[in-house]
Amino acid sequence: MASVNQLIGVSLIYVAFLFTIAFWAERYATKGKANWLRTPIVYTLSLSIYCTAWTFFGAVGFAARSGMEFVTIYLGPSLVMIAWWWILRKLVRIGRAQRVTSVADLISSRYGKSNTLAVVVTCMAVIGITPYIALQLQSVVQAFEIFVEPDFDGTFSQVQAGFWVAAGLAVFTVLFGTRNLNANERHDGVVIAVAVEAVVKLVALLAVGIFVVWGLGGGPAEMMERIDSSHIGRWQTGGARWVALTVVAGAAFLCLPRMFQVLVVENHDERHLQIASWAFPFYLMLMSLFVVPIAVVGLEILPEGSNPDLFVLTLPLSQGFEGLATLSFLGGFSSATSMVIVATLALSTMVSNHIIMPIWLNYQDGGATVSGDVRNVVIISRRLSILGILALGYLYFRVSGGGEALAAMGLISFVGVAQFLPVMLGGMFWRGATRAGALTGLTIGFAVWAYSFFLPSIGVGSIMSISLIEQGPFGIDWLRPQALFGIAGLDPMVHAVVWSLTLNTTLFVIVSLFTFPTPLERLQGAQFVNVFDHSAAAQGWSSAAATSEDLMIMAQRILGPQEAQVLFRSEAQAQGSSGSLPEPTPAFLLRLERELAASVGAATAHAMVSQLVGGAAVSVEDLMAVADESAQILEYSNRLEAKSAEVEQTARKLREANEKLTALSVQKDSFLSQVSHELRTPMTSIRSFSEILRDGEGLSDDDHHRYASIIFSEALRLTRLLDDLLDLTVFDNGEISLNVSRGGLSDVVDTAVRTAKAADFGTMEIDAESANLELMLSTDLDRLGQVFLNLITNAQKYCDAANPLLRVTLDERDGRQVVLFEDNGSPIPPTTRNVIFEKFARIDQKVGTGAGLGLAICKEIMARLGGRIYYEPTGSGNCFVVVLPAKRAIAAQ
């Protein structure tokens, strides 16, 4: 028998060997020569951290109790790896793009960098993983005990041994896990040590398996027969357990903090994933290949009542193969230590980044600008977290007393961390997932897990009384921990998995649907879900308040002086400046935040940068304006709309102008045709009568005279027409010069009446009493007289009454002096009233000899003089109203 001292010696040598490898790998990595350390093989082997002491020792025990069921623990992860294209590829890409450091960081980052969520996830992870760490301690201690028992007389203390194992692991983890804070929280030393341990545990298990199958079992064929004839020789797994275990194992593979650490955080190259997608299932298959044979042979050979969890160890030992037993011990030891180291590391990162650092920063008045090296604080907090977590594990180990079967404890942990899955996947594939939904889902799922699985497992009668489990709290039947909602008869594990995950997912989805995400959540959601479209915009720091110096000082404290300088210089070069300090552009701030996040987590980094930048100054509007694509599109379309409205307006104006021009052109054409018509009529008669006079011999004197008179009158008419046209043109062009003089209104009217009577077109009586027209005027009296004359001659010409009468009076309309010209002829028909002031408008073409320009000229003249002329219908005649020029009329008084 190997003595305990020998075993301790071997273990110490083994640990020293691991130390050397890890140390050496770290040195190579810091020199930048670590490329060969970052090969797909190392990545695949580091994933074997999944196979813990629970797997190494416990799988055999699991198989000895329930046959092939144990294999589901490996099938789940194998399926997840084979499905790498669906989930892992995206997860790794997100992890790299967002510089995620842990599961808590991933979830917090996705849901708006919420530290609350990070704290919740961290607490859940610590609660879920602590039993698991205790389990590892327990398995190592139990393995020791196997070697000790025959030698010693009961002085072996599990408690003491556990303490020393925990202490040793703490030293190793602190030494290699927190040597430095490097980019992206990677630990080359630890990873290489884990890879070596992966080989050791595989070799050990295979060696024991080969020994059992060929040494004890008599070859594969005989082995199969022995298996069939054993008490696990028939398929006995229920379908529900088969599915539930596979699902839980797959979920845990993604969600366990230590798995996340090696899968995502320590990933150097996404291409390694594809190789691991078949290589890791291969590793798992080898690990489980000999589990059933070892269990069957152990059950056969070893005395009844021996712990099946330790068959791997006790079988070679019972046959006297101490070397093999020692190797087997080392395999189990490797499994336990590598798991504890990485799990502790991952948990300590979470605890330090999401709990200790925010609290510490809060207690510093200056926040991120506080003096001193923050790196030291981070490292110290990290170390304290490691010690704390291991202390918790040890405490749990002491309290629980280690009576539980290994597999059961492992499963409890698995179901606990599987609660992260809905929130994680939801965050990766569904943009609508919100922080409130995630919080609710996680809390409920975790509560159900604790109530229905974790607490009952601690020991019936200790925390939960037997009556509570059998009758429910306060006798409420449907709240029985292992038969929620009254559905009894399920396996407790299946029951816990189904209810916790169902309620978790349902509430997560429902609350997400009914809550609205903040802008930051929506941005992060878009970046996570569309991680493969690199177009994702920045989170939008407005760099108003941040100076490069401040940022540099902060970055130096967290990243280290050299790393910070390298980062700043490369950014400055990229920006094209010659100095070593870049401009604090939003893009740079984003990059810096991600670099910082690699050391202290997304939420903390965000908080630190926001303190310098003036986080409060980053308003919702800024964020939206910078990054929200829809806002930009909306703005763009608004601008387009405004443009098009403008164009439309211009087009309308052009159209109006065109219409006016066309109308003017039509007017001009009709004017020209009217003028030529008016000119041609007298011209025709002048030409024909002058022709008669020239050729007509033998014309009587009378005829001669008559014809000459016609020619004369037609020529007069032509002259008048041309005078009128000339007047009109002059008025139209505004070239008129007014000859202002003072005089009485009655004189003007008198002159007009006299002139009209001289022409004497008829027998019209004109009533223009001077007494009624007493008013002094100061205007162009000649022009005014022209208007009056025109109105009087019009009345003379067109009045058709039997005793025509025209009355000229002075009156007042709307406070203005007006002269009324009223006759008793038949009124102008309403349809023509509108056009009488237009050029060439004549009421009846047959009547009169005028060109139809008189009233048009009157209208123009009155407009020039500052007055107006309009037609006013009366009951039994016509009335033209001449509004006198206002100022001059008043001035005259």
570 is an interface residue for another protein by CB under 8 A: yes
514 is an interface residue for another protein by CB under 8 A: no
Closest distance of CB 55 from another protein, Å = 16
Selected from 149, 228, 549, 646, the binder of another protein by CB under 8 A is 228
- Strands in 868-874's sheet, in edge-to-edge order, are 765-767, 805-813, 816-823, 877-883, 868-874
First to last CA, the chain: 145
The CA distance from 131 to 416, in Å, is 11
180 is an interface residue for another protein by CB under 8 A: no
Selected from 46, 130, 178, 277, the binder of another protein by CB under 8 A is 277
Q: Evaluate whether 568 touches 382 at the Cβ level (below 8 Å).
A: no
Closest distance of CB 85 from another protein, Å = 5
212 is an interface residue for another protein by CB under 8 A: no
890 is an interface residue for another protein by CB under 8 A: no
Selected from 9, 238, 486, 579, the binder of another protein by CB under 8 A is 238
Write out the two tokens for 449: 């897990």
Residue 92 identity: V
Q: Is the dihedral of CA 833, 837, 843, 848 positive or negative?
A: positive
236 is an interface residue for another protein by CB under 8 A: yes
Q: Evaluate whether 608 touches 367 at the Cβ level (below 8 Å).
A: yes
DSSP state of 884: P
The CA distance from 409 to 453, in Å, is 10
Could you tell me which stretch among 262-270, 503-511, 650-658, 884-892 binds another protein (CB under 8 A)? 262-270
SS3 assignment, position 95 = helix
Maximum Cα–Cα distance across the chain? 178
Closest distance of CB 79 from another protein, Å = 5
Dihedral-angle region of residue 474 (phi above 0 means left; psi in -120 to 50 means alpha; beta otherwise): left
Q: Evaluate whether 411 touches 248 at the Cβ level (below 8 Å).
A: yes
Q: Which is nearer to another protein, 233 or 827 (CB)?
A: 233
SS3 assignment, position 689 = helix
823 bridge partner residues: 806, 878
Could you tell me which stretch among 264-272, 387-395, 760-768, 836-844 binds another protein (CB under 8 A)? 264-272
The CA distance from 223 to 226, in Å, is 5
Strands 868-874 and 816-823: unpaired
Torsions phi, psi for 821 (to 5 deg): -115, 100
Selected from 259, 292, 386, 882, the binder of another protein by CB under 8 A is 292
Selection from 798, 799, 795, 802 nearest residue 820 by Cα: 795
Closest distance of CB 341 from another protein, Å = 23
Selected from 33, 271, 643, 660, the binder of another protein by CB under 8 A is 271
Selected from 19, 28, 156, 242, the binder of another protein by CB under 8 A is 242
Q: Which is nearer to another protein, 224 or 545 (CB)?
A: 224
Closest distance of CB 614 from another protein, Å = 26
Which x/- pattern over 630-659 shows residues binding another protein (rule: CB under 8 A)?
A: ------------------------------
Residues with Cβ within 8 Å of 887's Cβ and at least 6 positions away in sequence, in order, are 866
Residue 173 CB neighbour total at 10 angstroms: 26
DSSP state of 829: P
Selection from 822, 859, 821 nearest residue 838 by Cα: 859
From the centroid of its chain, how far is CA 469?
47
The CA distance from 195 to 280, in Å, is 12
275 is an interface residue for another protein by CB under 8 A: yes
Could you tell me which stretch among 44-52, 112-120, 228-236, 433-441 binds another protein (CB under 8 A)? 228-236
Closest distance of CB 237 from another protein, Å = 6
SS (H, E, C) 424-458: HHHHHHCCCCCHHHHHHHHHHHHHHHHHHHHHHHH
Could you tell me which stretch among 21-29, 91-99, 625-633, 661-669 binds another protein (CB under 8 A)? 91-99
Closest distance of CB 68 from another protein, Å = 5
882 is an interface residue for another protein by CB under 8 A: no
Could you tell me which stretch among 77-85, 117-125, 508-516, 877-885 binds another protein (CB under 8 A)? 77-85
Q: Which is nearer to another protein, 89 or 868 (CB)?
A: 89
83 is an interface residue for another protein by CB under 8 A: yes
What does 270-282 look like in DSSP terms, one character per residue?
THHHHHHHHHHHH
239 is an interface residue for another protein by CB under 8 A: yes
243 is an interface residue for another protein by CB under 8 A: yes
Closest distance of CB 96 from another protein, Å = 7
Q: Evaluate whether 255 touches 417 at the Cβ level (below 8 Å).
A: yes
246 is an interface residue for another protein by CB under 8 A: yes
Write out the two tokens for 123: 């607490």
Selected from 15, 203, 289, 455, the binder of another protein by CB under 8 A is 289
89 is an interface residue for another protein by CB under 8 A: yes
Closest distance of CB 271 from another protein, Å = 6
222 is an interface residue for another protein by CB under 8 A: no
Write out the two tokens for 79: 């399926």
Could you tell me which stretch among 19-27, 173-181, 241-249, 751-759 binds another protein (CB under 8 A)? 241-249
809 bridge partner residues: 820
From the centroid of its chain, how far is CA 738?
75
Selected from 4, 167, 210, 227, the binder of another protein by CB under 8 A is 227
The CA distance from 813 to 819, in Å, is 10
Site for another protein in 573-592 (CB under 8 A): 574-575
Write out the two tokens for 436: 């409130």
Selected from 99, 268, 606, 888, the binder of another protein by CB under 8 A is 268
458 is an interface residue for another protein by CB under 8 A: no
265 is an interface residue for another protein by CB under 8 A: no
Q: Which is nearer to another protein, 91 or 312 (CB)?
A: 91
78 is an interface residue for another protein by CB under 8 A: yes
Q: Which is nearer to another protein, 15 or 227 (CB)?
A: 227
Could you tell me which stretch among 123-131, 226-234, 483-491, 674-682 binds another protein (CB under 8 A)? 226-234
Q: Which helix or strand (DSSP H or E) is residue 92 part of?
A: helix 88-97
Between vectors from CA 603 to CA 597 and to CA 608, what angle results, nearest 5°? 75
375 is an interface residue for another protein by CB under 8 A: no
Residue 770 CB neighbour total at 10 angstroms: 12
Site for another protein in 16-75 (CB under 8 A): 38, 67-68, 71, 75
Residue ranges binding another protein (CB under 8 A): 38, 67-68, 71, 75, 78-79, 82-83, 85-86, 89, 92-93, 96, 224-225, 227-228, 230, 232-239, 242-243, 246, 268-271, 273-275, 277-278, 281-282, 285, 289, 292, 570, 574-575
